[in-house]
Amino acid sequence: MSVETVQVDLGDRTYDILIGGGLVARAGIEISSRLPGARVAIVSDENVAEAHLAPLVASLEESKVGSTSIILPPGEKTKNFDALQKVVDGILAARLERGDAVIALGGGVIGDLAGFASGIVRRGMRFVQIPTSLLAQVDSSVGGKTGINSAHGKNLIGVFHQPQLVLADTQVLDTLPAREFRAGYAEVAKYGLIDRPDFFAWLEDSWREIFAGGPARARAIAQSCRAKADVVARDEFETGDRALLNLGHTFGHALEAATGYDSARLVHGEGVAIGMALAHRFSSRLNLCSMDDALRVEAHLRAVGLPWRIADISGDLPDADRLLGYIAQDKKVTRGALTFILTHGVGKAFIARDVPSSEVVSFLSESLSR
């Protein structure tokens, strides 16, 4: 199977995203050629390790790359201080040095956690992402955002720490549960909704082929990575338009916090899907885009099997005022002013600052009752 390379251009920290089948089996070759002499700590979760750790270790051994493995429980609740300490202690116990590397083998949770650990151990070790979920391949593995959650909100503790390499093996996606693949697809759709209306239209026509695998899936991943790489190259530390990548995330993160990060109720990509639908409907309410645009987004999310309204989340949720409290803890809040990614239509997202909290509470109250 062919491999496509997307480059993240950050000067002397530029790195490649390799996209294609069989890359886990080639990991030893790719890593040893870029990081000669390095030993590695592989961080993974129990589910991913069972499916993919053995071939990765075999590949590393074949290229004479020494490794140690640190295995964590799966799920969003693992992104906490206790798990971070376990990873840090495991790296130090293996006597890895600053020039060695941490490999994140897993989805977004493992990538964020392992990346954070690599960014703080010995004041910064080298880092390789091997994302095993669609969401991680198209979003969280690219761009250097790392971190863990707090009781106060999602991803509030972390650092920017870029990887040296990303290996997006499209074959590992065949082992994903259908729900996890759908959740990752929300991030693919996001890139079309931000500023690529033609890409979103293609997704509306081609999503069945993407779900089935083959060339359409690889194309969707490559297009998504290219879109993110372009933004990261312009705005690595999110001081400007990189914030556009958070379309749907302000609402989505609040809903994740409101469910206590219970993945049985809501996983991250599902929160993003609902958040994107809410962002478009909120934009319509503020007369920024037409209701037709909001309905089009909702229709596509519904067609692929994603949740698209708050009522799709099982169990009780806090009231609008408490949801606003979670939003107020979001990283995109500046000096107490609420910042949202809103839209003038499909593919026309923009950063809206100083959004009145009264409008948000009113909208959330209405959305909770829908």
Catalytic positions are 123, 145, 187, 228, 238, 242, 246, 249, 253, 268
Q: In this structure, what DSSP letter does residue 239 have? A: S
- Distance in angstroms between the alpha carbons of the first and the last residue of the chain: 46
Please list the residues that pair with 337 across neighbouring strands: 334
Token pair for 347: 């593919």
- Among 47, 263, 266, 267, smallest CA distance to 175 is for 47
What CA–CA distance (Å, rounded) separates 337 from 75? 32
What CA–CA distance (Å, rounded) separates 290 from 275? 17
Token pair for 4: 């496509």
- Among 308, 218, 269, smallest CA distance to 107 is for 269
Q: Which residues contact 114 (CB under 8 A, 6 or more apart)?
A: 43, 87, 102, 103, 104, 106, 127, 146
What CA–CA distance (Å, rounded) separates 197 from 184? 19
Read off the amino acid at residue 100: D
Question: What H or E segment, with its residue span, contains residue 43?
Answer: strand 40-45
Q: In this structure, what DSSP letter does residue 104 have? A: E
What CA–CA distance (Å, rounded) separates 73 from 128? 20
Longest Cα–Cα distance of the chain, Å, equals 60
Q: Are 252 and 65 in contact (CB under 8 A)?
A: no
What CA–CA distance (Å, rounded) separates 144 from 236? 8
Q: Which residue has the tokens 């000067």?
A: 11
Token pair for 209: 């082929």
